[in-house]
Amino acid sequence: LILWLKNFWKLMMLAKYLLIFLTSFLYSQNIDMYISLIHEGQSEGVKDNLPELISKYPNDPGVIYLQALLTVNGIKSLELYSKLIEKFPESKYSGEASVKIGEYFYARGLYSQAGRQLCLIPRKYPRLPNMQVVIDMMVSSFRAIGEEDSVKYYSSIYQSMFPNLDISKHGIERVTMPSPQIIKKAKTKEPKPYIVQIGAFGSIQNANRLKLQVTQIGYDVEISPVQTNGKGLHAVRVVRYRSKSSAERVGESIKKKLGIDYRVLYRPVDN
């Protein structure tokens, strides 16, 4: 009897795990189906089901991605994509979320931000199915701001990583890696030691929210960890400028547009 009970218990536990697996699998399939419907322009039915999904699975990466896809407000959608990447970096939706952020910057004409976002994606998410699209947009972004060296540098790296990429369509026939000495010289040629600090938050979510807001009006923003009175904070900084006066002009412009106070700080980069 005892042996029978043990075997019965094992069968029950196996059935439980099988049910959990099947439920998870079917749920994942539903999310992918919803995403396909959105891409096909059939988003109304997905919108009807979204409130229930958010209620049941508020912290699920697939639900967050769906919510971001269906959010009309650009800032809000960027916040959702950033939340997904931050909380679920290994999720199968994180790569696509990173691409969406790059697409948004590109569509808004923020080519510097788009280039920096897109050039990191192939390394972080090498299994993305739409890598050609990412590279094409990256090249267009860098060329829009005259960064031809960046085009050659990243094209060289990713051409070797993804042999099927069509780099020739961009007029790049032979890509060579710039030497480390040239890269270092370019970085150190014009020191820009001044930054504009526009806030410091205990919450990384609040820091990201301000970063997105200021990025929207065309500035390069970084979040840096700082210590204040023994407390760790996330400093939001507009970077970087050669002179204090140029940094102050940027600070005044941001204050005028968004009503945000600022401080100009001398923070040279240790090259």
Dihedral Cα 238, 239, 244, 249, nearest 10 deg = -50
pLDDT above 70 for 229: yes
Using a pLDDT cut of 70, give the percent of the chain over it.
82
Q: How far apart are CA 151 and CA 167, in angstroms?
A: 10
| Nearest of 127, 189, 182, 125 to residue 153 by alpha carbon | 182
Asked if residues 62 and 28 have their Cβ atoms less than 8 Å apart, the reply is yes
| Nearest of 82, 115, 39 to residue 210 by alpha carbon | 82
pLDDT of residue 171: 82
Which two structure tokens, joined as six digits, stand for 120?
Answer: 């990191």
pLDDT of residue 195: 94
Helix or strand holding residue 57 (H, E): none
Which position has the higher pLDDT, 87 or 35? 87
Locus of tokens 């999720």: 91
- For 97, 219, 263, the CA distances from 266, given in Å and listed in that order, are 34, 18, 10
| Nearest of 218, 228, 213 to residue 260 by alpha carbon | 213
pLDDT of residue 218: 78
pLDDT above 70 for 78: yes
pLDDT of residue 186: 47
Q: Per-residue pLDDT averaged across 84-96, rounded? A: 91
What's the mean pLDDT when you consider all of the chain? 82
Which two structure tokens, joined as six digits, stand for 165?
Answer: 């990429």
pLDDT above 90 for 141: yes
Asked if residues 236 and 223 have their Cβ atoms less than 8 Å apart, the reply is yes
Q: How far apart are CA 3 and CA 167, in angstroms?
A: 66
pLDDT above 70 for 257: yes
Model confidence at 130, pLDDT cuts 50, 70, 90, reads confident
Model confidence at 4, pLDDT cuts 50, 70, 90, reads low
Output the pTM of the full model.
0.63
Q: Which of 5-19, 53-67, 90-104, 157-171 has the lowest mean pLDDT?
A: 5-19
pLDDT of residue 25: 39
Q: Which of 2-16, 57-71, 90-104, 112-126 has the lowest mean pLDDT?
A: 2-16
Strands 263-266 and 221-228, how do they pair? unpaired
